[in-house]
Structure 1
């Protein structure tokens, strides 16, 4: 038995050498679940938006897998959605991207040209460098290619145009091409930062998701007034609303289990996000009511499961991850500074004693607060005696990744 075969068996890997249909995906994942005897412990599966994956989720929901409310079971990869949003915008500036990609590819295609370009850079008092071309199917690689090339725009244009002056197959670069790319790169920085942060594996990502959703929605709102990128923004906004017009339950839960925010912040965040997207107050309020009902439903399930269970073992906190204040957090701070008296309407309910106690506990939050995302796990671990049921639910929610990027990178590296 080879080492790789042994590793696959030990780690529960299943290699699909046949068609990736919904039923085959379901069977492969189910075989791992059955091997480990965890069919009663599956809370959520994070997958991208491929139609086969969405159909596979239906097989799971209709199987004997125990899951916590249907809306929780399929966590759609946030980074895959960001990819779909950005790619819809790329189509609008494809001509500028193509010519810069061709120019960089032409320069880097031979050692002789690379050396000549390096000498050209030195003659212009610029440190020479090599450029990597992108993979068009991965927008972040295109973003990094354009970002790295921007400081050399003048040199690339001069060198490329001069050396291809007699070659009609090569379209010439212009200052206008670089201006479009400059604006687009600045615009895409928010998407890139969101992708990097939501791809993390050593800290909870669900509490970060709503903050990043707002950053993107606010950016689209701002850039919609800029004529140069308005067509790009319109296309991206439509794609955004398709997947995130309604806040996913997982992202809402991530806010509620953060003791600085809870339900009152979810209300503020929902309204702020809805305003950025141009949604009606009625639709926002209706969806907020749905989210609260779903959260109470999930907590009720946990109450029934663990009411008489004394095992309060908590998780071991992972590596630290610092967090700067997001735009959404600052908006919430400003609103709560002027009004601290609001309480969640769920506190009036006589049931859900633990949840009501948690929601009524004030947690000091200031502009200088150094409470990080990683501290959420510590906080709930320390509260497992005070909130034995809710701490279980909180830690389970915080364990759900909002992205499949890290696992995809592992398999891509391993081949």
Structure 2
């Protein structure tokens, strides 16, 4: 509403000249406040719509948008206008309170975006945190990333061990007439050797190789880049790390549309479906998303599937 009013600010004085009962015409000082407030809210509006997207992964986009908000608040905290300065001070107090503790998930998700990698926290953290906290937080995020990756490697080893035991049990059995199954053949032993050499050993340096390589440079259509698609293509190159990345990037920052955040209307479930179990509701929501994706239908299109 404020942005629309700014476009027609020349109309208000004319309306005042024609309408004698109009006595609340904004002054030049008021318009200056409105323009500054619009410039501040525009950054919040953009960040909200990017983060609350539902057709693409959003966890890897959160850190860069929050960084823009932090820079904006720091820039306007000493504004010459008392009204803007008081407004930004309240916003900054809430922002600093929220970021007093590191959000490891958001930082790790940003690193797992091949366009960002470790550079993203090296760039954003000095602007979000105090100078003496930035390097310490960078080190803790890096440590948490390696620990998380180590847990995935451990789970992989345990699952591979169970599979190996199952294969040994299956391979020891014989069929009728004394026929030995193929699992005990020479090819089976060679396959086990390949698993040891080609899969297990690279896992130890998989995360290091990813971070040492340069960031992925997008073309002009960078807005259409999907991190999960990149990991799908590079699964063979980063076998274990791709599993970690897919689990992290699949986490959405918000499942509520931005317009619903400030809406007092009904949410996903109406009063007639309030007795459904949470699992059933989740399945129905997943099915709806899958149907829309298969048929290329957006959520705001009122098309029913029969």
TM-score, normalised relative to structure 1: 0.47
- Mapping of residues 147-296 of structure 1, within 5 Å: 147-156=3-12, 158-159=14-15, 163=19, 165=21, 172-175=24-27, 176-228=29-81, 229-274=84-129, 279=130, 281-296=131-146
CA gap of 1:288–1:373, structure 2 versus 1, over 3 A, is farther
CA contact (8 A) 1:384 1:391 kept: yes
CA contact (8 A) 1:260 1:365 kept: yes
Q: Is the partner of 1:404 in helix, strand or coil?
A: coil
Indicate which of 383, 395, 399 corresponds to 2:246.
395
Indicate which of 178, 202, 211 corresponds to 1:359.
211
CA contact (8 A) 1:307 1:389 kept: no
CA contact (8 A) 2:122 2:138 kept: yes
Residue 385 of structure 1 deviates from its aligned partner by 2.0
CA gap of 1:365–1:226, structure 2 versus 1, over 3 A, is same
Residue 363 of structure 1 deviates from its aligned partner by 4.0
TM-score, normalised relative to structure 2: 0.63
CA gap of 1:404–1:285, structure 2 versus 1, over 3 A, is same
Residue 193 of structure 1 deviates from its aligned partner by 0.7
Which protein has the larger Cα radius of gyration, Structure 1 or Structure 2? Answer: 2
Query: Counterparts of 1:403 and 1:255 in 2: how far apart (Å)?
Result: 16
Q: Is the partner of 2:15 in helix, strand or coil?
A: helix
Query: Counterparts of 1:414 and 1:154 in 2: how far apart (Å)?
Result: 45
Deviations 1:213-268 (A, max 9, x none): 11111111222232111221111111111112444112211221122332244223
Runs of 4+ in 1 over 4 A off after TM superposition: 160-164, 368-373
Residue 375 of structure 1 deviates from its aligned partner by 3.4
Residue 157 of structure 1 deviates from its aligned partner by 5.3
For structure 2, the residue ranges without an aligned partner over 5 or more in a row are: 161-201, 271-306
Q: Is the partner of 1:250 in helix, strand or coil?
A: helix
Q: Give me the CA root mean square deviation.
A: 3.0
CA contact (8 A) 1:203 1:374 kept: no
For structure 1, the residue ranges without an aligned partner over 5 or more in a row are: 1-144, 311-349
